[in-house]
Amino acid sequence: MGDDVPVLLGLLLVAAAGTGTVLVRDPVRQSFLLSLLGLALATLFLLLQAPDVALSQLAVGSVLTPLMVLLTVRKVRRRARSERREERA
């Protein structure tokens, strides 16, 4: 029973971060919460004694995916801004 408490806390953290990521509407905040979700999953994998999976999750889920989301949002916002400028001219 004592060994299950950290895993249970990890699962609750993953559930909270995942729920928060889904409920937030702003893409920048979503990417931040997605990064926290990746960290929570990496911690859970570490608690479950899967350090190789934890390292992969840390790299992909905590860094690369949120970075791709942020870069995509930036590009879409720039394109929308330039289209609005063209319409005004």
**Structure confidence by residue, pLDDT tens digits, 32-75:** 999 999 999 999 999 999 999 999 999 998 899 999 999 999 99
The pLDDT assigned to 86 comes to 83
Torsion angle of alpha carbons 77, 78, 84, 87, nearest 10°?
-140
Predicted confidence (pLDDT) at residue 1 exceeds the cutoff of 70: no
Asked if the model's pLDDT at residue 89 lies above 80, the reply is: no
SS3 label, residue 1 = coil
Backbone Cα Rg of the chain = 18
> How far from each other are the two terminal CA atoms of the chain, in whole angstroms?
69
Within a 10 A sphere around the Cβ of 43, how many other Cβ atoms? 18
- Tokens 């929308």, located at residue: 80
